[in-house]
Structure 1
Amino acid sequence: MSGGSEVQVVTFGLAAETFAIPVALVREILDYREPFRIPNGPGFLLGLTDLRGEGVTTVDLRLRLGMTSAEPSLSTRILVVDVPLEGRVLTLGLVVDRVLDVSTVDRSQIGPAPDVGMHWESDYIAGVAKRADGFVVFIDMERIFSATDVDSLSSLATAA
């Protein structure tokens, strides 16, 4: 996480965990609505969400992070994010259990991903911060999807 001494983030919950992404990547926050299903996509792909006539590729962030899926509730939201990737911007809808807040975090409070002594898929973790109510995991949106994922999601977005 580069830049000044502070970063503004949107924090959101998945199950009992708290995650954050830079507010600069978030285009808007939508109430959940059932995406238009697309057959034969990756398991985490839910389909397309209509955003003022534009089809936004929508993914279940729980599934992408290796968590179990959950039924949408009244607090379920779709974070529409613009992810900069190799000279282009990929717009995605991320289904999250709930949006918590927009806050400012001092970069000095953000540490590296913990070393758990074994290999685990943690490339997407940009850092971890301690708060009074637990930990916040900062997601690196440029690394969360593999090159294969990005290619298939990009082709879906182009076709929409």
Structure 2
Amino acid sequence: MSSGGELQIVTFGLGAEVFAVPVSLVREILDYRETFRLPNGPDYLLGLTDMRGQGVTTVDLRLRLGLPASAPTPSTRILVVDVPIGDRVLMLGLVVDRVLEVCSVATDQLEAAPDIGVHWPSDYIGGVFRRAEGFVVLVEMGRIFSPDEAGVLDRPAAAA
């Protein structure tokens, strides 16, 4: 990223942690609703959410990132995002605990993902920046799902 620029982001919470995705990838923010369940998928695949007549494959981002499951609350939202994977873009609904804000961060404030010296699935971290409340992790959406997983996630929406 070039120094001196700004990145528009949407911040959201999963438990006590705060994450962010570029605003350019966010299509919509929906109130949480139960999904149409799909059998035999990975544990984080919740099912399909109706978005104005279109079936959106919906995943529990907490489970996908290795966090414990949590019951939905009135603050729970579905972040509908475009996930660039390989040569295609997959539209996914990500269930998050709460959406915090749309804001901007100076690109020169982004730090690389910390090396903590142990095996930890941190490939999805595009960078980390500090806020008064603590750290915010910028999620690299294209790295959360492998191409094989993307194929599994793309099929339910196609079948809807």
d(CA) in 1 for partners of 2:4, 2:154: 31
Query: Does 2:14 align with 1:5?
Result: no
TM-score, normalised by the number of residues in structure 1: 0.96
Contact 2:86 2:147 in 1 (8 A): no
In the TM superposition, residue 85 of structure 1 has moved relative to its aligned partner by 2.2
Question: Does the residue aligned with 1:62 lie in a helix, a strand or coil?
Answer: helix
Q: Which amino acid aligns with 1:131?
A: R
In the TM superposition, residue 4 of structure 1 has moved relative to its aligned partner by 6.9
In the TM superposition, residue 68 of structure 1 has moved relative to its aligned partner by 0.4
RMSD: 1.3
d(CA) in 2 for partners of 1:85, 1:66: 20
In the TM superposition, residue 3 of structure 1 has moved relative to its aligned partner by 8.9
Query: What fraction of aligned residue pairs are identical, expressed as a percent?
Result: 66
Query: Does 2:33 align with 1:26?
Result: no
Q: Does the C-alpha gap of structure 1 residues 85 and 132 become closer, same or farther in structure 2, counting only changes over 3 Å?
A: same
Q: Does the C-alpha gap of structure 1 residues 152 and 4 become closer, same or farther in structure 2, counting only changes over 3 Å?
A: farther
Q: Which segments of 5 or more consecutive residues in structure 1 lack a partner in the other structure?
A: none
d(CA) in 2 for partners of 1:74, 1:149: 30
Structure 2 match to 1:143:
143
Q: Does the C-alpha gap of structure 1 residues 156 and 135 become closer, same or farther in structure 2, counting only changes over 3 Å?
A: same
Query: Does 2:154 align with 1:116?
Result: no
Q: Which segments of 5 or more consecutive residues in structure 2 lack a partner in the other structure?
A: none
Aligned length: 160
Q: Does the C-alpha gap of structure 1 residues 52 and 2 become closer, same or farther in structure 2, counting only changes over 3 Å?
A: farther
In the TM superposition, residue 157 of structure 1 has moved relative to its aligned partner by 1.7
Contact 2:9 2:104 in 1 (8 A): yes
Structure 2 match to 1:103:
103
Query: Does 2:157 align with 1:157?
Result: yes
In the TM superposition, residue 84 of structure 1 has moved relative to its aligned partner by 2.0
Structure 1 match to 2:66:
66
In the TM superposition, residue 2 of structure 1 has moved relative to its aligned partner by 6.4
